Amino acid sequence: MNAEKRHVVVAPLNWGLGHATRSMPIIRELLKQGHRVTVASDGLALKLMQSEFPSLDFWELPGYGVHYQKPVLLSLTRQIPDIQRIIRQEHLKILDRLKASHANVIISDNRYGVWHPDIPSILITHQIQLPIGRRMTKFMNPWLGRYLNPFREIWVPDFAPPDHLTGYMTETRDSRVVRIGPLTRFAQRDLEENIDLLVLISGPEPARTRWETHILQEAARLPYQQMVLLRGLPGEASRLQHSNERLTIHNHLPAQALNTLIGKSRAIICRAGYSTIMDLMIMGKSAIMVPTPGQPEQEYLARRLDNKHLAVVRYTE
């Protein structure tokens, strides 16, 4: 972005917290350059942004309200009409907000309705193709392409092939694509590893709560003296009471505290969300990754990391 001071709207998708967390380094860089930033989102992603950037302006957008039921792919397919309706609603909402805001750049992280025909609109995504099998992907590409068309640039937070983490999801000849490298709010730190196990709970409901319940049921049987569980619930009290002296539970931690916690952990269990993968890679940490059951992207990324020997993958909770 050039030296002229801009008003930039940054709009992360509220689907888990990954889209919000990977938008943070972009926001920090924009602020460092002296630009004005407004954040547009909903739900937990909005709460997280408000806790990390309390001095910024915020716009609340309609929530997508996506939920998982088995079989997951069929469940998501049935929700496509509702998702399309929400995309139209958020587009109308953003058009209305932009009338009085004088914003002159939009950076949307996977919110397909956040763009303006007269304002440079940039999409951040690692899904130029959907990871649902090559045959189904080819069928769905025209549908997805319609949502990519309004954006002047598409920023892919990944390396260029053949070192890319995302595989065929970001393989394209689209001239608008700019590979900006992995995004993370963390930095690698040389810390004493005095936490035996860190469990990072994340993802959309109800899968998040189901996995948390399973982990808590198993915690007493795990052979670790110092364990920490992070629930991934910004906006809640920072810490919970617990009866097991070996286990500390946090609802949410600010970025710097979480950076330290990850750096001090000998072993990490987490979902195979792409933002988590980028965070751990930048920090030089490996993990046991458990993809959310039935979530095609996480299953694809987990297989890819497993094949590259970059993570230990378990496909059952």
Helix axes 296-307, 274-283, angle to 10 degrees: 30
| H helix count then E strand count, the chain | 9, 13
Integer CA distances (angstroms), 255 to 5, 81, 189, 213, in order: 27, 36, 14, 24
> Which of these, 234, 277, 290, 289, lies nearest to 257 by C-alpha position?
234
Q: Is the CB of residue 169 less than 8 Å from the CB of residue 131?
A: yes
Q: What is the pLDDT of residues 222-258, one digit of tens each?
A: 899 999 999 988 876 655 656 578 999 999 898 999 9
pLDDT confidence tier of residue 78, bands split at 50, 70 and 90: confident
Q: What's the confidence (pLDDT) of residue 89?
A: 96
Q: Is 265 helix (H, G, I), strand (E, B) or coil?
A: strand
Q: What's the confidence (pLDDT) of residue 270?
A: 96
Share of the chain above pLDDT 90, in %: 66
Q: What is the pLDDT of residues 88-114, one digit of tens each?
A: 999 999 999 999 898 999 999 999 999
Q: Is the CB of residue 141 less than 8 Å from the CB of residue 171?
A: no
Kindly report the CATH number that applies to the domain delimited by 7-179. Answer: 3.40.50.2000
pLDDT confidence tier of residue 204, bands split at 50, 70 and 90: confident
195-313 carries CATH number 1.20.1440.120: no
* pLDDT of 86 over the 60 cut: yes
In the chain, which segments carry CATH 3.40.50.2000? 7-179, 195-313
The burial class, CB within 10 Å (0-12 / 13-18 / 19+), for 223 is: exposed
